[in-house]
Amino acid sequence: DSSKITSRSSILTFATALATIGVHFYLTQQHIITKYTMGESSPLCNINSFFNCGTSIVSSFSEFLGTPLSIFGIVTQLLILFFFTKVFLSDSTE
């Protein structure tokens, strides 16, 4: 007995992955603006003194090997979309 991917779950998976990619692109943009141009991140990203992108971006934990962590998030979400699409479009029921 094999389970099939429902239309609702497919739409939810694609929408979530695309939304997450959008958020990661936004965070990458804010990282570049704050870290490399000495600009200030936008008000959307700065909710209060605790939830503040500018504070997070200057943290030593915001990068891995000089690459913003949001880039790794984009790559991960693209892989999820790739594999989900591959499974969704396959003819196999396994």
What pLDDT, on a 0 to 100 scale, did the predictor assign at position 72? 93
Read off the pTM: 0.73
Q: How far apart, in whole angstroms, are the C-alpha atoms of residue 50 and residue 73? A: 22
Does pLDDT of 4 surpass 60? no
pLDDT per position as a tens digit, 32-67:
888 777 766 666 667 777 777 777 777 788 889 888
Using only the alpha carbons of the chain, give its radius of gyration.
18
What pLDDT, on a 0 to 100 scale, did the predictor assign at position 3? 52
**Residue count of the chain:** 94
Percent of the chain with pLDDT over 90: 18
